[in-house]
Structures are given as structure tokens and as C-alpha cells.
Chain A
Amino acid sequence: MAEVLVYVDHVDGAVRKPTLELLTLARRIGEPVAVALGAGADATAAVLAEHGAVKVLTADAPEFAEYLVVPKVDALQAAYDAVSPAAVLVPSSAEGKEIAARLAVRIGSGIITDAVDLEAGDEGPVATQSAFAASFTTKSRVSKGTPVITVKPNSAPVEAAPAAGAVEALAVTFGALATGTKVTGRTPRESTGRPELTEAAIVVSGGRGVNGAENFGIIEELADSLGAAVGASRAAVDAGWYPHTNQVGQTGKSVSPQLYIASGISGAIQHRAGMQTSKTIVAINKDAEAPIFDLVDYGVVGDLFAVVPQLTAEIKARKG
């Protein structure tokens, strides 16, 4: 059976959920061979094996942390040369897409980004994507070279599928471009203790109607009552009420959770682009004409400062 390379997104050996989802998709088209780079790479093997990785290729070198993107491309290319896979799957993070894209040029292959589903096809893997702010669904293939496909979080279930997961050291030689862009400083983001926005099963977002940074507390409280991530519309981010890393929309994150709760968000195209594929959508807005209500499964026309705290209290009461 053909092998499929899966690029592993991990933090010091802790594998992030989108990578496990990639393993589910990879098993539909072949045998997953994982590639884990950087500090803690070897520690990823156990969980990758549980989810179907037949092999885990690992490499660690200071270059991975000290220089931007290209050292990881060199390593992924070394894995590609060693395995000759049927496809290369990479998580659709900002960095993941850049790594995938550079690999694709080098190996003379087409690239598909932000797939939301993947299935085997007669002419290679068929990727489902959303287009035009998720108003269209397209199905595409890579028609030249080995398909390189990046996949968005929440595109497939995480499935247990025990496999060997044998660790093999990957030999990497860095090219001249690897040290082109130096990372001279790194400030880790403070953890909020909440789920990662793009990976969360529930997202609670606030927009213009929240009307001030100090009011985001009620959005956070609702999120915490549901174990949800917190999002913000561009209007709220541009006003400086909430960090840009939490922005949902065309120029922020695109999310596809089981439940999306929009509070004080009108639902402009820029926002819809980032949340329209959510399974269940709920909105609270005082304007009954707000376009967000066209998308909802359940909407409440009312003052979010009354509705949201009541909702939070009711959830807490029901959860006991």
C-alpha cells in the first residue's frame, strides 16, 4: 500500500489534534508515515502510532527553532525523498501552509490548501474546499506531481487505529536558504487555559455590540461555562477590545466548530467567511435585520448584556 507523509504539528512532543485528524484522512489513501521535527520529536511517536502511523521519521537540530520555515522544508523534502509517498498532508496552520507550498515547488507538484475533507479517487486524492466565504464547495485534485495538501482543523474525526509507529532518524542536510531568515526573538503567548480557537468544539465570539474591552468578560464567562474558545469579529479586534489571534473571519481564523455562538456580531461577509461552515450557529443581536440571523439555527433578538449572562447562569445551573 502506498505511503502518505503526514507532517506533525506538535509542541515539545505534545501532538496537536489537527495532526491526529490528518492521520484519519491519510489512512483513507494509504499508510501514514509521520514526520516530526524539532525538540521533543521522538516523544510524538506513541500517540502517532496509536492513531495509525506505521513509521515516525524524526529529526532535531537548532536550525528548526532559530530560522524561519525553510529548515523544516529541507527536512520534509528529505522525508519525501526517502519515502516517495503517494501524497503529502500538512496541517493548515500559517506555518504549515508555507512549508507545504515551498515543498510543492521543489518537488514540482501542485498544491491544494485548506481542504475540509479528503477521499481516495481514481486520479489521486480528491480534496473538498470551501470558496468565496464558504458560499461554494469545490472538489479538486492535484494534477501534476505528488499531491501536497494542507487540511484545516476539524476536518475529520480523531480515530484510534494502532500501528507500529517505528521511530526512524531522518537525515537532513540544510541548504543555503535554510539560514536566510533568522528568528532573533520569540515571546510565547500566554495560555488562557481555553481550547485553541481553530480546534475547539464550541466557539463563543463577540463583536461590535460587546462595546468595549472591559465587556468581553461576559463573553469569556459564557465560553468557560461551555468549555469553549473565545473569538472576536474584526470590528472588535480593530477597536482593540480583543487580541488579533482570536479574530474569526477572512483575515483571521476560519473555524468550523460543532457550535458557534455569535454575540453582538452583525455577520458581514468578512466574518461569515470564517465561521459559515460551523455545524450549529446561534446568534444574539439587538438588530433583528442583522445578516447573521440568515445563518442561524437559533437566534435571539435582544440585548446581549441581558441575554448572555442569563444564558451563562442557566448553563451553570443545568451543569450543576
Chain B
Amino acid sequence: MSLRIVVCVKYVPDATGDRQFTEDLTVNRDDVDGLLSELDEYAVEQALQISENSDDDVEITVLTVGPEDAKDALRKALSMGADKAIHVEDDDLHGTDVMGTSLVLAKAIEKAGYDLVITGMASTDGTMGVLPAILAERLGVPQATLLSEVKVEDGTVTGRRDGDSASEQLQASLPALVSVTDQSGEARYPSFKGIMAAKKKPVESWDLEDLEIEADEVGLEGSWTAVDSAAQRPARTAGTIVKDEGEGGKQLAEFLAGQKFI
């Protein structure tokens, strides 16, 4: 048996950098260093663990949609141990929203062939967290999302979803889509050997034509949502800071009482 896993990853601006919007109100991807979204590292890690724990012949493909630099995210995933990569890149993709991105991913996943799709829980830039559910809807496969624990055995995926009111055990037949949380297990660092090996791993480039997607289905024009304005939040006005000289707790209580919290 073989198991084909496609891991969707995103190349995002570093959250510790000074993130800004551009004039067309899309995310400025030029002035801040980019990297593989931290939350997607967990998805790559779980794919690798599924592969390591499986008797099947597992092939892991990492897939991204993004500009030229997004190759860095694929390289990172390959150096962690994924087998090959697909980069969907097209100038017409600039400004694509989650509906367009999910369309591109779905077409690419179908073209690549898959038994299991794994994603992170959200991106660290857009932070919507809805792409996995949309992707499952588009692919027409079960969604087992927000898993903190995941296992694949005999054509079935099982896992634990920790919700606010309950922790649930989920089960679905393959093909299926899984998203994993940052609680699923620390992602490994690429080894030197892994980094060297990644340079020789295949990275395919596809454009919209390869996926039979029209330009007007994606991009800023094809977006199903419109951002009218983006304003930097005014810096919070400097507050009062006191050094505790033995009365710090009481001073704080006085402040809270003044604000009517007590």
C-alpha cells in the first residue's frame, strides 16, 4: 500500500518584524523577511511522524501558493524531511483571498493526487483559520480539524480535537483532510544532512494555466471580499508605571478602584 500525503504550507511575513499593508491594502511581503509559517511546521512534523510510524510506502508532498520567495518555505519543509514540493506561482495570484487560495490549493491537490491532506491550524499572517474547512468542502472529503493528536491506520485517520467545552475523538476514512494544532508535537529542526538532501529534491512549478483556473477567479479583482481601509492602531498612551516598594499591590488596587473595577 502507498499513502500520498499533501501538506499545505504558507510563506508568511515574520510576525516579529514590522508588518505593514501596501497601497492596495494587501499584505506587504517585500519589506519584512518571510518564512515558513510556524503553525505549518506542525503539519509537516505530523506528516513525517505518520510516515515514520507507517508500514506503507508514504510519499510527502509539500504544496504552497505564493510568490517566488515562497520557495524558501518549501525548502524548509523539504529539509525537515518531506519528499517533494509543488510551488503554484502566477502574477495573477496577487491579492487572492481565502476563497481563491483554497480553489488553487484544491485544484493543485487533485492534480498531485492524495490520500491525506494536512494543514496547520491557521496562518500566522491572515490568522483566519478557515482554510482547512473550506478545502475539505471543495475537495468533498471528511474534515478532521484542529487535532492535537493524529494517527493513520488501515485507511482511517483518528485524532483528538480539544474544544472549549469538550475534548472529542474523531474518526474518518481516507481520503480526508486533517489540520493540526501547535499542541500536536514540537516540530523538528532540519539536520545538516536534511538541508543538503533538500537541495536535490524536486520542486515543481505550476501556474494557473496548469490548474485550468482563469485569472479572474483569483487575485485582488477576483476576491470575494474587499478591504476598504487599514489604519495603524494608535499607540496606547503611556500609562503609569510604579516600582514596588512594598505597597505595589495596594497602589494597583487603588488604580483599579479608581477605574471602578472594584
| Chain A residues proximal to chain B, CB less than 8 Å | 11, 68-70, 73, 93-95, 97-98, 100-102, 104-106, 109-114, 126, 130-145, 177, 180-189, 196, 202, 226, 244-245, 250-251, 258-259, 269-270, 273, 276, 280-282, 284, 288, 293-303, 306-315, 318-319
Query: Nearest Cβ distance between residue A262 and chain B, in whole angstroms?
Result: 12
Query: Nearest Cβ distance between residue A72 and chain B, in whole angstroms?
Result: 11
Query: Nearest Cβ distance between residue B143 and chain A, in whole angstroms?
Result: 6
Closest to B158 in A: A184
Contact of B248 among A93, A140, A307, A312 (CB under 8 A): A307
Query: Nearest Cβ distance between residue B96 and chain A, in whole angstroms?
Result: 12
Q: Are A137 and B230 in contact (CB under 8 A)?
A: yes
Contact of A140 among B225, B240, B252 (CB under 8 A): B225
Known: A184-B170, A298-B255. 19 other contacts (CB 8 A): A68-B170, A94-B164, A104-B134, A110-B97, A135-B19, A136-B231, A144-B224, A189-B167, A251-B182, A259-B259, A273-B15, A276-B233, A281-B236, A282-B252, A294-B235, A296-B239, A311-B252, A311-B253, A318-B262
Task: List residues of chain B with CB within 8 A of the CB of A105.
Answer: 99, 102, 134, 137-138
Contact of A310 among B122, B142, B249 (CB under 8 A): B249
B1 at interface, CB cutoff 8 A: no
Q: Are B163 and A293 in contact (CB under 8 A)?
A: no
Contact of A109 among B39, B224, B240 (CB under 8 A): B224
Chain B 142-154, CB-CB to A under 8 Å as 1, else 0, gives 1111101000000
| Chain B residues proximal to chain A, CB less than 8 Å | 15-16, 19-21, 25, 39, 97-99, 102, 121-122, 124-125, 127-134, 136-138, 140-146, 148, 158, 161-173, 176, 181-183, 223-233, 235-236, 239-244, 246-253, 255-257, 259, 261-262
**Are A181 and B239 CB-contacts (below 8 A) given A94-B146, A143-B225, A300-B251?**
no
Q: Are A288 and B249 in contact (CB under 8 A)?
A: no
Closest to B259 in A: A280
Closest to A140 in B: B227
Contact of A181 among B130, B144, B181, B249 (CB under 8 A): B144
Task: List residues of chain A with CB within 8 A of the CB of B161.
Answer: 68
Nearest 3 interchain pairs by C-beta: A302-B244, A310-B249, A110-B224
Q: Are B130 and A300 in contact (CB under 8 A)?
A: no
A269 to B184, CA, bound (A): 22
Task: List residues of chain A with CB within 8 A of the CB of B253.
Answer: 311, 314-315, 318
Task: List residues of chain A with CB within 8 A of the CB of B261.
Answer: 202, 226, 258-259, 280
Instruction: Report 24 cross-chain contacts, Cβ distance below 8 Å, ordered by A residue.
Output: A98-B130, A101-B131, A110-B99, A111-B224, A130-B233, A133-B15, A134-B233, A135-B232, A135-B233, A136-B231, A138-B25, A180-B176, A186-B166, A273-B15, A293-B239, A296-B239, A300-B241, A300-B249, A306-B246, A315-B256, A315-B262, A318-B253, A318-B257, A319-B262
Query: Nearest Cβ distance between residue B124 and chain A, in whole angstroms?
Result: 7
Task: List residues of chain B with CB within 8 A of the CB of A186.
Answer: 166-169
**Are A131 and B230 CB-contacts (below 8 A) given A143-B225, A251-B182, A301-B241?**
yes
Q: Are B249 and A294 in contact (CB under 8 A)?
A: no
Query: Nearest Cβ distance between residue A296 and chain B, in whole angstroms?
Result: 4
Q: Are B169 and A184 in contact (CB under 8 A)?
A: yes
A268 to B20, CA, bound (A): 18
**Are A111 and B98 CB-contacts (below 8 A) given A105-B134, A177-B142, A251-B182?**
yes
Q: Are A11 and B130 in contact (CB under 8 A)?
A: no
Q: Are A188 and B130 in contact (CB under 8 A)?
A: no
Query: Nearest Cβ distance between residue B6 and chain A, in whole angstroms?
Result: 18
Q: Are A284 and B226 in contact (CB under 8 A)?
A: no
Q: Are B230 and A138 in contact (CB under 8 A)?
A: yes
Query: Nearest Cβ distance between residue A223 and chain B, in whole angstroms?
Result: 13
Closest to B98 in A: A111
Q: Are A98 and B143 in contact (CB under 8 A)?
A: yes
A259 to B256, CA, bound (A): 9
Task: List residues of chain A with CB within 8 A of the CB of B141.
Answer: 180
Task: List residues of chain B with CB within 8 A of the CB of A114.
Answer: 127-128
Query: Nearest Cβ distance between residue B95 and chain A, in whole angstroms?
Result: 12
Closest to A306 in B: B244
Q: Are A182 and B165 in contact (CB under 8 A)?
A: no
Task: List residues of chain A with CB within 8 A of the CB of B173.
Answer: 180
**Are A294 and B242 CB-contacts (below 8 A) given A250-B127, A300-B251?**
no
Closest to A110 in B: B224
Query: Nearest Cβ distance between residue A24 and chain B, in whole angstroms?
Result: 22
Closest to A126 in B: B228
Closest to B243 in A: A301
Closest to A302 in B: B244
Task: List residues of chain B with CB within 8 A of the CB of A137.
Answer: 230-231, 233
**Are A97 and B129 CB-contacts (below 8 A) given A296-B241, A298-B239, A310-B250?**
yes
A250 to B168, CA, bound (A): 23
Q: Are B15 and A250 in contact (CB under 8 A)?
A: yes
Q: Are B249 and A307 in contact (CB under 8 A)?
A: yes
Task: List residues of chain B with CB within 8 A of the CB of A70.
Answer: 143
Q: Are B242 and A301 in contact (CB under 8 A)?
A: yes
Closest to B99 in A: A110
Query: Nearest Cβ distance between residue B50 and chain A, in whole angstroms?
Result: 17
Contact of B169 among A97, A185, A276, A314 (CB under 8 A): A185
A95 to B20, CA, bound (A): 30
